[in-house]
Structure 1
Amino acid sequence: MASNVRNQSEKIKFAEPQLGPLSQIHTGGDAEFLVRPTTFYQLQAALAFANAEHLPVTMLGALSNSLVSDRGIPGLAVHTALLNRMYIQGSLLVSQCGTSMDLLIDYAIENGLGGLERLGGLPGTVGGAVYGNSGSHGLYTADHLYWIDYLDREGNLIRMRAHSEEFSYRHSP
């Protein structure tokens, strides 16, 4: 059953814990706690909650390229598919982690930004593509990164300049 917890000033809504319906292959056990944040602040509050309760955290992305055990996931599972906002900042395309790669590429093309087309068809989200330095046809995600904003375990925002030489095949710093 979904429930709410207030942490700091942001309300955390726990979703129904079943992961199977969220997965593209519709299998998998339940999460002990599941959140589906729609804002940065909800994600930050959820991570602070997990830290305060000493819960392990599993980032799930959109579950498009994942197989969840029937035994489920202990601790806090974070389904990021609803963190999918994008905008143009000068000549940069800025995206949240839950945006699908195909939507990101379409948005870039619609706004006159090219270069990502060879990444078309990759399953998953921007967050997963950055984390695993996804690539296709000789182009890797890191080739087009300028910076990465991420939250550490305590929920602190950290901005890291992305230097492609720090990335390797299926690896990010």
Structure 2
Amino acid sequence: MLNKLHEDLKGIDIRIDEPLKKYTYTKVGGPADFLAFPRNRYELSRIVRFANQENIPWMVLGNASNLIVRDGGIRGFVIMFDKLNTITVDGYIIEAEAGANLIETTRVARFHSLTGFEFACGIPGSIGGAVYMNAGAYGGEIAHILVSAQVLSKAGEVRTIDAREMKFGYRHSILQDEGDIVISAKFALKPGDYTLISQEMDRLTHLRQLKQPLEYPSCGSVFKRPVGHFAGQLISEAGLQGVRVGGVEVSKKHAGFMVNIADGTAKDYEDLIAQVIARVEEKSGVTLEPEVRIIGESESD
């Protein structure tokens, strides 16, 4: 099968048994059978067509910022969109490919004096992941500005989904239910003042630096916000800040984050998440629900 792969996908950057911890924000994750970096949509379609023909599972990893990949890794193809990262501006519309960096996209908006994207100026990750998760911060979210997204189905078909069809909710979109993958997205912004946009982005960046443990690898905010509560506050009140499993710790700076401080593993993250959920429920009666996606196989699988 490897010979057929090299023959059919010649010229595409594909790495065999590549450790995913080299690419995740958490710095954990076992190997992917095949890690692919398509340079354009043509290469992407070749990979998906080959995988479907050979009955090999495939998935897109995005920028792997709000994600934990288990220590056993991922079978089949893992596709990374790092090279599919073009950002274009047409009037008040920004179109970005799925692999475009979300923070960089907000800077492009600022350069063109377009307002509406400032809320995302400090959110790590990709455009594709942001649309998939309806990423948001400081009162803004992707649902407020998305016009449409071009998506790839599991069958390899490309179609456009209007924002009204996305069924956006808190950290949710219809893509999570259907399994479609974002290829690109269009956002409608408004004309603004460059200086005011810059000041707002500087303010939000400063707030993030003050509150969040950006100096360590992490998966971002671990839990969804419970109705009527704040996850970080509940975790703190349960006396969990600084609690550690293996190399992963509940951040002393922000209880809603878990940081990899000493070569932690995905299992360390999962065990700590389970411990936090149990302790918070015992203390407050509130059941925390993870926001972070956990994928792949454990080492024992």
| TM-score w.r.t. length of structure 2 | 0.53
Farther-moved stretch of structure 1 (54-63 vs 94-103): 54-63
Cα deviation 1:35-55 (Å, max 9, x = unaligned): 111211111111111111112
Q: Which whole-Å CA distance do the structure 1 matches of 2:94 and 2:128 have between them?
A: 14
> Is the contact between residue 62 and residue 99 of structure 2 (CA under 8 Å) also seen in structure 1?
yes
Give the drift of 1:103.
0.3
User: What is the one-letter code of the residue matched to 2:21?
Assistant: G
Question: Residues 119-134 of structure 1 correspond to what in structure 2 (within 5 A)?
Answer: 119-134=120-135
Question: Residues 37-52 of structure 1 correspond to what in structure 2 (within 5 A)?
Answer: 37-52=38-53
Cα deviation 1:55-97 (Å, max 9, x = unaligned): 2222111122322111110111111222111111232100001
Q: Which whole-Å CA distance do the structure 2 matches of 1:144 and 1:124 have between them?
A: 17
Q: Which whole-Å CA distance do the structure 2 matches of 1:137 and 1:165 have between them?
A: 21
Residue matched to 1:15: 15
> Is the contact between residue 5 and residue 11 of structure 1 (CA under 8 Å) also seen in structure 2?
no
- Say which SS state the counterpart of residue 158 (structure 1) adopts: strand
Residue matched to 2:98: 97
Q: 1:69 to 1:5 in 2, by over 3 A?
A: farther
Q: Which whole-Å CA distance do the structure 1 matches of 2:52 and 2:26 have between them?
A: 30
Q: Which whole-Å CA distance do the structure 1 matches of 2:66 and 2:7 have between them?
A: 30
Q: 1:5 to 1:62 in 2, by over 3 A?
A: farther
Indicate whether 1:171 and 2:175 are aligned: no
Match 2:6 to one of 1, 4, 7: 4
Question: Residues 16-31 of structure 1 correspond to what in structure 2 (within 5 A)?
Answer: 16=16, 17-31=18-32
Q: Between the two proteins, what is the percent identity of the paired residues? A: 31
Farther-moved stretch of structure 1 (100-109 vs 77-86): 77-86
> Is the contact between residue 31 and residue 74 of structure 1 (CA under 8 Å) also seen in structure 2?
yes
> Is the contact between residue 119 and residue 141 of structure 2 (CA under 8 Å) also seen in structure 1?
no
- Report the structure, 1 or 2, having the larger helix content: 2
Residue matched to 2:145: 144
- Say which SS state the counterpart of residue 67 (structure 1) adopts: strand
> Is the contact between residue 56 and residue 76 of structure 1 (CA under 8 Å) also seen in structure 2?
yes
Q: Which has the larger radius of gyration?
A: 2
How many residues were matched structurally? Answer: 170
Q: Runs of 4 or more off by more than 4 Å in structure 1?
A: none
> Is the contact between residue 33 and residue 75 of structure 1 (CA under 8 Å) also seen in structure 2?
yes
| Uncovered stretches (5+) of structure 1, i.e. residues with no partner | none
> Is the contact between residue 45 and residue 155 of structure 1 (CA under 8 Å) also seen in structure 2?
no
Give the drift of 1:164.
7.5
User: What is the one-letter code of the residue matched to 1:13?
Assistant: D
User: What is the one-letter code of the residue matched to 2:78?
Assistant: A
Give the drift of 1:165.
7.2
Residue matched to 1:109: 110
User: What is the one-letter code of the residue matched to 2:108?
Assistant: Y
| TM-score w.r.t. length of structure 1 | 0.89
Farther-moved stretch of structure 1 (84-93 vs 11-20): 11-20
Cα deviation 1:116-162 (Å, max 9, x = unaligned): 10122112111011001011112110111111001111222101111
Farther-moved stretch of structure 1 (50-59 vs 98-107): 50-59
| Uncovered stretches (5+) of structure 2, i.e. residues with no partner | 175-301
User: What is the one-letter code of the residue matched to 1:15?
Assistant: R
Q: Which whole-Å CA distance do the structure 1 matches of 2:86 and 2:123 have between them?
A: 19
- Root-mean-square deviation over aligned CA pairs: 2.1
